[in-house]
Amino acid sequence: MANRSRTARTTAAARRWVPPAIMTFAAMAALTALTADAAARQAPRPAAIKETTAARDAGEPIMAIVSIRTQHVTLYDTEGWILRAPVSTGTTGRETPAGVFAVVDKEKDHHSNMYDDASMPNMQRITWNGIALHGGPLPGYAASHGCVRMPFGFAEKLFDKTRIGMRVIISPENAEPVEFSHPALLVPKAEAIAAAPARAEALPREAGEAAKAADETKKAAATAARETASLTASLRKLEGQKARAEAELASAEKALVSAKTDETRARAEDLKQKATAKAAELGTQLDAAKADATSKLDAAAAAKEAAKVAQARKAATAKAASEAKLALEPVSIYVSRATQKLYVRRQTQKPAPDGGGVVFDATIEVPVKISNPERPIGTHVFTAVARNESGLRWTAVTIDHGDDAKSALDRITIPQEVLDRIAPTALPRSSIIISDEPLSKETNYRTEFVTVLSNQPQGGFITRKPTPPDILVDGPNDDGFNPFFQAWNPQAVNTRRRGGQEYQPVQPRWW
C-alpha cells in the first residue's frame, strides 16, 4: 500500500514537472498574449506633439484651440496656424472644461491661491474662477487641476503676443478653423467704417453738451417750482384773507339790518364801510396775484417740460456716444438654443471697478428665432479674421456636433434691428457663436461669452470657488451698461456624456 502511494506521488510529481526552458517560454507567451489583449482593448495614444513654429512671418494670434484628446494647443493668426505645442489639461476628476472662452486677464508672475502658492508663470486667465493657460511641467498626459499647462518657454513667448479678448476654444477632439462664407454673417459698410472714428470723437462732445444743458434746465425747473410753490402759498393766504373780509362784510350788513337804535345803526354802518373797503382791497390784491401767478406757473410748466426734453436728449446722445465708441471694437454675438436668445458683447475699454479685467457692454439681449428648436444644433464659432473685398473673411470651428456649420447658421434668424446696429461697423475679430448650451455661470460683466459643453466632464470647476457675487452688477449704470444673467436650466441641455454614461454638469452657483 505504501509502495503504491509512493508510486502515485512520484507519477503526479512527474506530471507536474516541466523543464525550466519550457516554463520560461510558456510564461513569455502568456505575457505576450495578455499585453496584446490589453493593447487591443486600449485606444492607441496619439503621437506626441512637438513645439512647432510655422515657416512664415506670423501675425498677432487671434485664436487658440486646445485639443483635450491629443493634448496640444494651436495658435492661429489671420492666415492660419502659427504656433503649436504640447499641453497638459486637467486629470480625471479635475478635467479642463471643454467650451468657448476668451482671455480675460494676464499676469506675468502668478502664484496659485488654491494649490500651495504654486507658480503659474505667464498666466492668461480664461475664467474668473481660476481656469487659465500658463507655463508648467508636462509629463506627456493630462495632469493639471483644470488649467491648461504649456511648456515654460512657449508660455513666455505666447504671453507677449496675445491680447485681452483673444478667443480660446477648448475642444474634446481635434478642431481647426476652416474658411467659411454664409449670407447670415455680418457684412460691414465701408462708409460706416470710415465715419466711425469721427463719430466716436464728436458724439461724446455732443453728449457732454447735452448733459450740461440738461443739468441747467433741471436747475431752472427746480427754481421755478420753488417759486411757484411760494406763490401758491401766497395766493391761498390772500384767498383766506378775502374770505374773512367778505364774512366780516356780511356780518356788518346783518348787524345794520337788525339795528334798533341810531347808535347801533351808526356803529354797524361804520363796520360795513370798513369791511367793504377791506374786501375790495383784498380782491384787487388777489386778482393781481392770480395774474402774476398765471405767467409764473406757465413759465414753471415750460421749464419742467424743457427739463424733460433735455433729459431725453441727454440719454439719447449718451447712448449714441456709447454706440460710437463701441463701433470701434470687434463685436461678439452668442445664440443659445437652450434659452432661445441672442446676446451681444463688446469691450468698453473701461477697467472693471473691482479690479482685474475690463467691463464688457451687454446692452443687447433679444429673443431669436431658431427653426426646429427641439433639434440639437451643435457648438460652432465663426470668426471674422480679416477684411476682404466683400467686407470680412470668416472661418468656422465646430467643437460639438449637431448640425454642420452651414446648417446651423441656416436655422438662425438674427433680428434686423440688431443687424442694423452692429453689422455696418463690424471689424476683424468679430465673432458669432451658436450653441445648444446656455451661457455658463462664469459669464459676467467682465468676461466675454463663456460657454461650456454639458456633455463633457467639468471637474476642473468643482474644486474652484464660483465667481464672487460682489463682482456682479444688477442694473444699468451711467454708462448705459446693462449686464445679463440667465438662470441655467439643466433640463434644457443634453446631460448624457458620450459613451452612454449619465453626467450632470457641475458648475458653481453665483446667484
What's the pLDDT tens digit per position in 23-36? 444 444 444 444 43
How far is it, in rounded angstroms, from Cα 290 to Cα 427? Answer: 63
Tell whether the torsion through CA atoms of 364, 366, 368 and 374 is positive or negative: positive
pLDDT band at 316 (very low <50, low <70, confident <90, very high): very high
Q: How would DSSP label each residue in 56-112? A: S------EEEEETTTTEEEEEETTEEEEEEE-B-B-TTSPPPPEEEE--EEEEEEE-
**Does position 492 have pLDDT exceeding 50, yes or no?**
no
**Does position 484 have pLDDT exceeding 60, yes or no?**
no
Reported as half-sphere exposure (CB side, CA atoms, 13 A), residue 278 has a value of 20
C-alpha cell at 229: 410753490
Amino acid at 283: G
Stretch among 224-233, 359-368, 480-489 having the lowest mean pLDDT = 480-489
- Identify the pLDDT of residue 468: 58
DSSP3 helix / strand / coil % (the chain, rounded to 5): 40, 25, 35
In sequence order, the 6+-apart residues with CB closer than 8 A to the CB of 103 are 124, 125, 126, 133, 162, 163, 164, 165, 166, 168
Q: What is the DSSP letter of 161?
A: T
- Identify the pLDDT of residue 112: 64
Q: What is the DSSP letter of 444?
A: -
**Does position 467 have pLDDT exceeding 70, yes or no?**
no
Closest CA to 431 of 62, 59, 61: 62
How far is it, in rounded angstroms, from Cα 256 to Cα 486? Answer: 84
- Identify the pLDDT of residue 81: 97
**Does position 118 have pLDDT exceeding 90, yes or no?**
no
Residue 34 or 47, more confident: 47
**Does position 394 have pLDDT exceeding 50, yes or no?**
yes
Closest CA to 234 of 194, 290, 276: 290
Evaluate whether 424 touches 188 at the Cβ level (below 8 Å). Answer: yes
- Condensed to tens digits (0 to 9), the pLDDT of residues 195-214 reads 999 999 999 999 999 999 99
120 by DSSP, 3-state: which? Answer: strand
- Identify the pLDDT of residue 488: 30
Mean pLDDT for 474-492 is 34
